[in-house]
């Protein structure tokens, strides 16, 4: 007939079904990105407050001395002038914090336009770590800053996280946000290359930075 036995035919059918599921997963990931992010926000139990400009906030309750001191602590005495040519939130770098790492694991994010040259970090399997994101706020308060993180292996999403950083006032110095402790995958089957899609956005739906990078999980640290 067709030269295929039942086992071979069944194997090909299963392979086609697997490829179909993978393809649908990739399409769904692109199509439902913003829907998933909104669901993540709801899971955080977070409701965005009414937005106010820096000028409006500074004008509130001028006669309340304690509140004035609090606002000065949060925002500083000197108000930074907003430069329309500069993005309000500038993400500068990502650092993987791990006490066992033989050297600093830092990724410069000031230039991520060329996605052909993706950033990469290598770690040892099973270690615990945290991610630190450094950024600068220029001119206006940013509310509800949060970090979205998706990890893929061989095209299949294996992890998804959303972390609420909070609200930040403009400052001349850089500010930082550190995620809770996470643990790298462990075991020979989990070693290898992982693709990570990261995004930092806020209550105004501004995508302050979106970038892709790779995480290499190895048996030991690479010197």
Class of domain 84-218 (CATH, top level): mainly beta
Least confident of 33-37, 44-48, 125-129, 209-213: 33-37
User: Concatenated DSSP letters for 174-203?
Assistant: -EEEEPPPEE---SGGG-EEEEEEEEEE-T
- pLDDT 10s digits, 80-91: 556 677 899 999
DSSP H helices, the chain, are: 6-31, 33-43, 54-59, 65-75
* Euclidean distance between CA atoms 190 and 151, whole angstroms: 13
Residue 58 has pLDDT above 70, yes or no: no
Give the pLDDT confidence score for residue 99 in this predicted structure: 96
Residue 28 has pLDDT above 70, yes or no: no
Give the pLDDT confidence score for residue 119 in this predicted structure: 87
Contact (Cβ atoms closer than 8 angstroms) between residue 200 and residue 146: yes
């Amino acid at each position: 007939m067709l030269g295929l036995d039942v086992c071979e035919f069944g194997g090909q059918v299963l392979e086609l079904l697997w490829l179909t599921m993978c393809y649908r997963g990739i399409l769904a990931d692109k199509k439902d990105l913003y829907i998933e992010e909104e669901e993540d926000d709801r899971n955080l139990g977070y409701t965005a407050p009414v937005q106010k400009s820096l000028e409006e906030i500074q004008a509130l309750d001028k006669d309340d001395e304690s509140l004035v001191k609090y606002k000065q602590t949060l925002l500083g005495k000197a108000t930074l002038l907003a430069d329309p040519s500069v993005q309000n939130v500038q993400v500068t770098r990502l650092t993987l914090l791990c006490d066992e790492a033989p050297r600093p694991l830092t990724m410069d994010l000031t230039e991520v336009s060329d996605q052909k040259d993706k950033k990469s970090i290598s770690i040892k399997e099973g270690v615990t770590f945290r991610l630190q994101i450094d950024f600068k706020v220029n001119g206006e308060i940013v509310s509800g800053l949060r970090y979205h993180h998706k990890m893929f292996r061989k095209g299949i999403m294996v992890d998804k996280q959303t972390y609420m950083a909070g609200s930040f006032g403009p400052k001349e110095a850089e500010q930082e946000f550190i995620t809770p402790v996470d643990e790298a995958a462990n075991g020979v089957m989990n070693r290898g290359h992982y693709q990570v899609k990261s995004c930092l956005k806020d209550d105004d739906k501004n995508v302050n930075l979106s970038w892709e990078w790779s995480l290499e999980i190895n048996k030991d640290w690479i010197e």
